[in-house]
Chain A
Amino acid sequence: MNRRTNRLMWIAVVGCVMALAIGLSMYALRSGISFAMSPSELKAASVEPGQRIRLFGLVEQGSVKKGEGLNVKFTLTDPEEAVVVEFNKILPDLFREGQGIITEGSLAADGVFRADTVLAKHDENYMPADMAEKLKQQGVWKGEEGAGK
């Protein structure tokens, strides 16, 4: 094997592996991603039932209803639109009414959002920046002090 074919062989191997890795990534990105939306974006978009979505918004005051066992339902608002979210696990420590949270799951056919993950973060950093901005403009955002009372 001379120097030239040797090099060509290695370039071909490198090309193949990289192409495979990137192709695999692109394939996985089709199903592996979830769109992050606010309730009004969710209402506006035509979402197929079962598609994974990250829904973020504020937990509406007085909307949390505990059901059988761990079942809990609450309304997430942004606040123009509201979506009822159902969740069957333990709510995070920082979950509170009036608090900004992120849920992950999919929209069921009955219009209820079935979440399998609920993330709450005290930090406003955890909320997508323009969402926080939007909420602040509308005066709905309960800063640190407000939420603390």
Chain B
Amino acid sequence: MIVELGHLALVLAFALAVVQSIVPIWGTFSGDRRLMATADTSSLGILFFVTLSFGALMWSYAVSDFSVVNVWQNSHSQMPFLFKLTGTWGNHEGSMLLWVFILALFAAAVSLFGSALPPSLRANVQGVQAWLLATFLLFILLTSNPFARQEAALEGQDLNPILQDIGLAIHPPMLYLGYVGFSITFAFAIAALIDGKIDSAWARWVRPWTFIAWTFLTAGISMGSYWAYYELGWGGWWFWDPVENASFLPWLSGTALLHSALVMEKRDALKIWTVLLAILTFSLSLLGTFLVRSGVLTSVHTFASDPTRGLFILAILSAFVGGALFLFILRSSRLEAGGLFAPVSREGALVFNNLILSAAAATVLIGTLYPVVYEAFTDAKISVGAPFFNLTFGLVMIPLLIAVPFGPLLAWKRGDLLGISQRLMFAFLAAILVIILTGAFTQKGQWLAPLGVGLAVWLMVGSFAEVIQRAGLRKATLAVASRRLAGLPRSVWATALAHCGIGVTLLGIVCVTAFETETITVLKPAESVVVGEFSLRHEGYASRTADNYSERSARISIFKSGEIVAVGTPSKRFFPARQMPTSEASIHTFGFSQLYLALGDVEGDGNVTLRIWWKPMILLIWLGTVIMVIAGVISLSDRRLRIGAPARRKSKGKAASHA
């Protein structure tokens, strides 16, 4: 009964979403506040029913109810309990339900925390969000119903072993929170276009939502990258896989949106562009969903693909993107043009940021879609590999990375480039010093690596120039300076940290790319191999059986200057239900660097093939993203950005209960 109630709840959510698609927007057109107000309760109702439904599916995974086709296909009675639960979204149907759950979550968040929004804007946002909800719920019910039933099977077909990992518990929900979170900015854009009122207040309202989505997306992409790094056993952390690109594209345009909304809020300019970016960002999320789910592009991430699903998502994509752009064209002529833009000014720098991010997104998009287009025209299959992306994306981004520290120092309207350059001199000197030092330690001909490290240091140090300047650290006494530091708006700190995070990530990327070593060797028992400053000895070989897999592992002692520092057990697992082996890499952290051991073949006489990577500074890649996420959280806590912040003065108690 629980399964069927879950199914029914899903249908109820769909019906409510259909009603919410019509009634609130009708309310804004007829000026009836009561109709608008229905969105507040009905979006809570949708969240309630989708949650029930998701809970019911999770329950049937937890108890291994193999009369549910979806559970039977993706679970196994012997799986650890945690993986039974996370298996709920480790497949197409379940992950679509998670997608919709998060969509409902954001819609409900607008009802709960959007009380400061003008009623008609809020009703329209909720209405647009309901269109999305209704469409995707229909998609689930018609093509990917997770509650389809069958005669109870005896045993499930097991979850793909690669997904049997703690990473699955966190990575998709995070990523979806970001991905789907941009639906709110999309809804804001459409709502504003319907209303015809796009002003700097709109930019102020949309920014917190953009920050929430951006923060989750950053965390999600980063988690996914780390998961791929340790779980796949290939030692790589970014593959320019179509699915990775699909999540990276909204990130790029979302980052651009954050910056352009700032211009719109402060200068009442770039309106058309900002609204377009809000539409494009979510369109890229939808495009990603389409690419992944339709099987148009083959990827490590693809679940079983089904042409009807692909067509359905393509229809959703064209309807929403096409409709949004049509509305945009209709209304954009009514928008007033903004003021003058001096090239050297804060807004000039932000436009430059948007320009480069769009160009970078364009190159990634070209590389991702080129195989599809090429095949459509010539019938030959090609693949666009990492070299393409590294060359184009890398080159396009460099000017932006150089410019980043300048941006926050520039004043609105007219900036003083010379004065700023002086303030940034210390960062410039630090970068030069690092370039010389790194150059001295690298081999001849590797001139790119020192420059890359220098650029990273320039970013990391230069990002704090505004903080230093505003605190007056150079002239004031320590006490005064620290008082000023504490008094700085949080957004200043957030900007500095986010920009610094990019530098940290860049440093990790440069170090790993330039200084990584890879050793592949066959080790006899008790034989050793030297990797950099480490010596690794093969100690023996063991097998064991767990609930749903068997495992063979090698014991490798790791010595550093004669002392044993770690014992690694790289292993291979075999999952009989899917007849599928997986590798479990053994990863050892030394500072920010890691030693990565992966097991290859094992020969009869106990010889093991080992693949050993030394990954210098690799953890900085993810540490940088963690810093960016922290920056996102700080900026959300900034008073100026908090939803409905100005209303706080009027009714302090009331607003506080909302926060």
Q: Write the residues of chain A forming the contact surface with B, with a CB cutoff of 8 angstroms.
A: 1, 3, 6, 9-10, 13-14, 17-18, 20-22, 24-25, 28-29, 31-37, 52, 54, 69-70, 89-91, 93-94, 104, 121-123, 125-129, 144, 147-148
Contacts and interface: CB of A to CB of B under 8 A. Distances in A.
A90 B572 contact: no
A97 to B, nearest CB: 14
A123 B351 contact: no
B611 interface: yes
A34 B385 contact: yes
Given A24-B391, A121-B300, A125-B298, A36 B381 contact: yes
Interface stretch (B5-13, B353-361, B587-595): B353-361
A94 B300 CA distance: 13
Given A25-B366, A54-B383, A148-B579, A14 B600 contact: no
Contact of A21 (B160, B362, B572): B362
Contacts of B367: 25, 29, 32
A28 B371 CA distance: 14
Contacts of B601: 90-91
B355 A13 contact: yes
Given A25-B363, A34-B385, A6 B341 contact: yes
A63 B609 CA distance: 21
B655 interface: no
B578 interface: yes
Contacts of B389: 32
B363 A125 contact: no
B295 A24 contact: no
B359 A70 contact: no
Given A1-B340, A32-B387, A123-B302, A21 B381 contact: no
B63 interface: no
B392 interface: yes
The 9 closest A-B CB pairs, nearest first, are A32-B388, A148-B579, A90-B600, A21-B359, A36-B381, A93-B581, A28-B391, A25-B366, A33-B382
B520 A90 contact: yes
A24 B395 contact: yes
Contacts of B295: 125, 129
Contact of A90 (B343, B579, B611): B611
A121 B580 CA distance: 10
A74 to B, nearest CB: 14
A51 to B, nearest CB: 12
A82 B518 CA distance: 31
B276 to A, nearest CB: 13
Nearest to A148: B579
B340 A32 contact: no
6 contacts: A6-B341, A29-B370, A125-B295, A125-B298, A125-B304, A126-B300
A6 B340 contact: yes
B300 A33 contact: no
A36 B300 CA distance: 17
A102 B611 CA distance: 21
B604 to A, nearest CB: 12
B384 interface: yes
Interface in B551-607: 572, 578-583, 598, 600-601
Contact of B579 (A25, A104, A147): A147
Contacts of A31: 387
Contacts of B396: 20-21, 24
Contact of A126 (B298, B371, B382): B298
> On chain B, which size bracket covers the interface?
35 or more
Contacts of B358: 18
Contact of A36 (B302, B382, B579): B382
B582 A122 contact: no
Nearest to B600: A90
A34 B388 CA distance: 10
B376 interface: no
Nearest to A121: B300
B522 interface: yes
Interface string B372-390: 0000000011111101110
Contacts of B543: none
B295 to A, nearest CB: 6
B305 interface: yes
Contacts of A148: 579
Nearest to A13: B355
A72 to B, nearest CB: 9
Contacts of B581: 93-94
A70 B380 contact: no
A35 B382 contact: yes
A54 B380 CA distance: 12
Contacts of A89: 520, 611
Given A21-B363, A36-B383, A37-B381, A93 B298 contact: no
A34 B382 contact: yes
Contacts of A121: 300
B582 A93 contact: yes
Nearest to A32: B388
Contacts of A33: 370-371, 382-385, 388
A31 B511 CA distance: 25
Contact of A128 (B356, B360, B381): B381
Contacts of A69: 522
Nearest to A6: B340
B520 A70 contact: yes
Interface in B386-423: 387-389, 391-392, 395-396
Contacts of B371: 33
Given A21-B363, A24-B363, A125-B304, A3 B385 contact: no
B455 to A, nearest CB: 19
Nearest to A89: B520
Interface in B500-544: 520, 522
A90 B608 CA distance: 11
A89 B370 CA distance: 30
Contacts of A129: 295
Contact of A29 (B160, B384, B395): B384
B609 A70 contact: yes
Nearest to A24: B392
Contacts of B582: 93
Nearest to A124: B304
B187 to A, nearest CB: 28
Contact of B359 (A6, A18, A126): A18
A35 B522 contact: no
Given A13-B355, A36-B382, A125 B302 contact: yes
A37 B381 CA distance: 7
Contacts of B355: 13-14, 17-18
Which of A17, A69, A144 has the largest count of B CB atoms less than 10 A from its CB? A17
Contacts of A20: 359, 396
Nearest to B367: A25
A27 to B, nearest CB: 8
